[in-house]
Every structure is written in structure tokens, then in C-alpha cells.
Amino acid sequence: MGRQRPGTPTLEEVAAHAGVGRGTVSRVINNSAGVKESTRRAVQRAITELGYVPNLAARSLAGRRADAVALAMTERDWRLFGEPFFAETVRAVSDALADTGMQLLLTLVRTDVERRRFVEFARGGRVDGALLMSVRAEDRLPDMLAESGLPTVLMGRRSGDECVTYVDADNVGGARDAVAHLLGRGRRTIASITGPLDMYVARCRLRGYQEALALAGIENKPSWVVEGDFTEESGRRGMTELIERHPDIDGVFAASDTTAAGVLAALREAGRRVPEDVAVIGFDDFPLAQHTAPQLTTVRQPLDEIGRALVRLLLEEMAEPAVAWQHVILRTELVLRGSA
């Protein structure tokens, strides 16, 4: 039986005894999700040792939780919601949340009106945290949520100076590995079809492409690069344009698997063999990559691991707001198949 202290122990005393914040004690008392098991045990031990008895009225106020997490998609172009990236990300996050007891709410936030509405919704206690994906450089939504005190984690980042907590893949390194592979196979006229360059992820993949060429002593020719938007149609259109500009093209790095699928279609229409005439590499390693003809060599972005890291960081922030923002970059892997 726990030792009874003179007087009535307070929530703050329990928190100090356990070495955690008072919010964490409230979450343990209310049996809420988002608290590490070791932390939960330490708080329960402190409650027993101090003989703390929760005030039920205060508990009902302090422990208000929605037990829900919002996954907000900020992409403005409706067409892109049909791309595999969105479905695969939702699956990865949903899988990572499966054992937490938290509900996943999906929402679209594309305009200033929708931003304000979502921030008010979040402030109203309808969700305990937010995961944001497809955030572009100028979007203030992450800052608005952070300023409102809502635990927030980004998938990707807006710039190299991002301050809000994020999880990202090594987009520069993955692209550099892809182009280095093409160079190692003797390709010398290597083009790239990028994603939308107002997104940091697209600029990073372009930078990796450029770095690999520079390391090989090959000039970065602007005419070898076409800006796309991660869609199949932009890959088809961009490849057709590149063939007209550079009939001698022998390698292509596409910034996504769907873009690469469009590249393959355009090469077929032009009578070019893959990989004999033109080698092609994509980025993502979605199931699509195994259903193209030939199967796609691509850079694997570890979506399952990204989903788990997103949820882990968000739960940590919900349990105890961190002193510093956390920035996690996960390694990519080149997956070799038939296209390069």
C-alpha cells in the first residue's frame, strides 16, 4: 500500500515526483493514448507512493481528449488526389495508428478559408494533433497550428529552414544514387522530369540529379530538365519534349513513379526501347513500379517507416511538448528492375 503523505498531494507534486509534466499525469489518470509505457508506469508509481487521489471534476476538465488525429492534405490540384502517393500515405499512417486507439480523420485544406476553418476546428478540441502532407513553400498552416498549441508534424518540409517537426526521406541522396546508377551503366545524355518546383521535395530531387552529374564532370544543361507535376501526363508530355530537343537522350530520371510511367509510354510511342536505347528510373517504389513494362527501377522511399515515425513523433508531442522541434530524415534505397 502506498505511503500517505501529510496533507493532500497535488497533481504538480505527482508530476515532479515522476519527473514529467502535469499534462502527462492528466493523460495517465485519464488512460489516454500517446503516453509511453515506461512513463505511464512511473506516473502510476508516483501516484501510489504519494497517495494521490484525483479530483474527478478537475479530471474531467483536464483530461478532455478527442482521441483523434487529423491527416490534412494541402494539395490544391484535385487531379493529384488520384495519384498513388496519397493512397499509400494514408495507408501507412493508418497502419501506424492501428494499435494506438486513435481515430484518423482525413481532411482537405487547400484555401485560406479552409485553413482558418481547420485551425478553428483543431482549437476547438476536435483533434489532439495534426499530420500535414504535400505542404508547399508558402503555406503558413503549419505555423498557424503550432502557434495555436496543437501538436503538429509534417510529412516532408517546406524548405531547408523548416522549424516545425517533420519526417522526410533523403530525396537528394536518393536522386543522386539514381543518376549515379545511370552513369555507371554508361549513360551520358541524362535528362530529368521534375516535380512542381514550388515544392521542396521536387527541388531536392532535382538537386540530387544535378549533384550526380557534377560529380561525374558532366555539364548540367538546362535543356535536359523539364518541370512536371508528379503526374503520368507530365511524364508523357515532358519525355516527348525531351526527345524533340535531344534525339540522342539515353537516360531519364523521373521525380516520381507515375511520372516515369508516362515517360515509358512516350518512349514506346517514339519507338525507343527501354532500357536498350533509353534507361529510365523513377522515385517512390509504389506498387505501380512493378506493373509497368518493363518493371521500373526506382528509388524506394520508406513510406511504412515514415508513417511510423510521423505517428511516434506526434504521440510524443501530445504526451509532452518537446523543447526542440524534431527533424527526421530516413534513408532511401535504389531498387533495380528492368528499366535501367
DSSP at 108: E
Q: Out of 3.40.1350.10, 3.30.70.250, 3.10.290.10, 3.40.50.2300, which CATH number does the structure's domain 68-169+303-331 have?
A: 3.40.50.2300
DSSP state of 2: P
**Cα 103 to Cα 329: distance, rounded to the nearest angstrom:** 26
DSSP 51-65: T----HHHHHHHT--
CA dist 154 → 73, 146, 205, 269, 313 (Å): 11, 11, 18, 39, 10
Topology of 11-62 in CATH? 434 Repressor (Amino-terminal Domain) (1.10.260)
What is the residue-level pLDDT of the chain in tens, covering all 340 positions? 344 444 567 778 888 999 988 778 877 876 666 788 888 888 888 888 887 766 543 433 445 677 899 999 887 766 666 677 888 888 999 999 988 888 999 998 988 899 999 998 888 888 999 999 988 888 899 988 988 888 999 999 999 989 899 999 999 999 999 999 999 999 999 999 999 998 999 999 999 999 999 999 999 999 999 999 999 999 999 999 999 999 999 999 999 999 999 999 999 999 999 999 999 999 999 999 999 999 999 999 999 999 999 999 999 888 877 778 899 999 999 999 999 9
68-169+303-331 and 171-300 share one fold: yes
Q: What is the dihedral of CA 134, 238, 225, 78, to 10 degrees?
A: -10
Query: Which residue, 61, 39, 126, is CA-closest to 315?
Result: 39
Domain boundaries, the chain: 11-62, 68-169+303-331, 171-300
CATH topology classification for 171-300:
Rossmann fold (3.40.50)
3-state DSSP call for residue 127? coil
Cα distances (angstroms) measured from residue 181 to each of 53, 175, 190, 212, 318: 64, 10, 11, 9, 42
Angstrom distance (rounded) from CA 38 to CA 31:
14
**Distance (Å, whole) CA 109 – CA 73:** 6
Q: What is the pTM of this model?
A: 0.78
Residue ranges of alpha helices (H) inside 277-339 are: 303-319
